[in-house]
Each structure stands twice: as C-alpha cells, then as structure tokens.
Amino acid sequence: MTSPTHRRRPPTAQQFVLAEVRRAITSGQLEPGAPIRQEALAEQFGVSRLPLREALKSLEAEGLVVHEAHRGYFVAELSLADLREVYRIRQLLEAEAVRQASEHLDGPALAALEAAQHEVEQAAAAGDVSAMTAANRRFHFALYATAGMPRLARLITTLWDATDAYRSLYYGEPANREHVVQEHRTILDALRGGDPERAVRLLDEHRSHAVAALESVLHQD
C-alpha cells in the first residue's frame, strides 16, 4: 500500500483511517478475501488501534469488510449469485432514479455530470484505478441526486458500497476503462437530448458489461 503521508488528513484520525482503508479496498490494494492486519496498518498510518477499529466497524456496516471471530477482519467477498443480485436490484432502483432525475436536469446538473465525466476520463487515461473509482461514483451519484429522492439515493449507495472491492478488478483492465469512458459519453448524450428511456437502456448495458467481466474474473478463481 502506498504511503498516504502526502494527502491532507481529514479532521479526525478515524476519518483519515476510514478514507485510507476504503481507498486501499477500492483501488485493489486490498483484494476481496484479504486479511486486514490491524497492527501493521495502525503503524503505517501513525495512529492507535482505536481509530482503526472504529473505521473497520464503519466499513463492516457498509459491507466492505467482514469480521470473523478469533480471526479478525477481512475484505468482504461476494459470490457470483450475490453479485448478480446486487446489480439486478441496482438496475431496478437506478432506472427510477434516472427517470425522476431527467425531470430536473438543468444546466448546473448537466455541468456537474460533465465535470465528473472529465475526471473519469483523466483517471482512465492515467490508469489510476482509485481515482477512476471515485470519479465514476461522482458521475453516477450526481445523476441520482438530481432525482431529489434521498432515501432512494441511500439505498443505491448501500448497494454500491457492497461491490466497491470488485469495481477495481473491472477497472484494472485498460479495455474496460475505455468501455466505461465511451458508455458514459453515450449516457450523457441521451440525457442532454432529453431521452431518459435511452439513458436507462444504456445504463443497463453499462452494468451488464461490468457484471460479465467480473463473472469472467471470478470464474477464474
């Protein structure tokens, strides 16, 4: 794991550790099933075990890590059935979010999507998986937030959190990064053109490509 010392720390040690462990998981530095060595991480981050334990509890609530008695914390693993279920539920919820958002997509909302897409493209070109994961989330949630349905957004957030560790496996391949960039562009075109149903169809294809790629990776295991 790369040293985090060059980054400005959030206000508390727990927030700092939470952000760093989440970044390690979403970037693929800590892969699904990997043990989380608390003593080593606490020493690396220059914190006591207490803020690390609190951060791990938060990540456990998000579904990113699991705790096993007498063994400690591990990065959460999903079966293929789990993965398919999460993406199927996302399909249903996100379709509603897009339809609702389309009624409120004004200039500033589109500008926020375009700004997030610019960050996605920059990260993809640089091969920065962690940055692309974060920018991709900003892109999608800039759209879902526009729906004005915070409870729906929270449900979608929970589903995204559960698969963050796998997103880095998808973005690790240059071809997949390029697919994401192109798919986002077509989704943006549909939204600019006032065609929410086309945007919904494109998002369905976007998710399907990710699931197919992840299924291939997981079958290899």
CA 74 from chain centre, in angstroms, equals: 18
Q: Is 75 helix (H, G, I), strand (E, B) or coil?
A: strand
**pTM of the complete model:** 0.79
Q: Looking at residue 219, what is its pLDDT?
A: 64
Q: Largest alpha-carbon pair distance within the chain?
A: 56
Residue 213 is classified by DSSP as H
Residue 220 pLDDT level (bands cut at 50, 70, 90): low
* pLDDT tens per residue, range 22-69: 888 877 788 888 999 999 988 888 888 899 999 999 999 888 899 999
| Residue 47 to residues 54, 59, 90, 197, Cα–Cα distance (Å) | 12, 17, 37, 49
Is the pLDDT confidence value at 5 over 50? no
Helices (H), the chain: 13-26, 38-45, 49-62, 80-101, 107-126, 129-145, 150-171, 174-192, 196-220
Residue 221 pLDDT level (bands cut at 50, 70, 90): low
* pLDDT tens per residue, range 114-165: 999 999 999 999 999 889 999 999 999 999 999 999 999 999 998 998 888 7
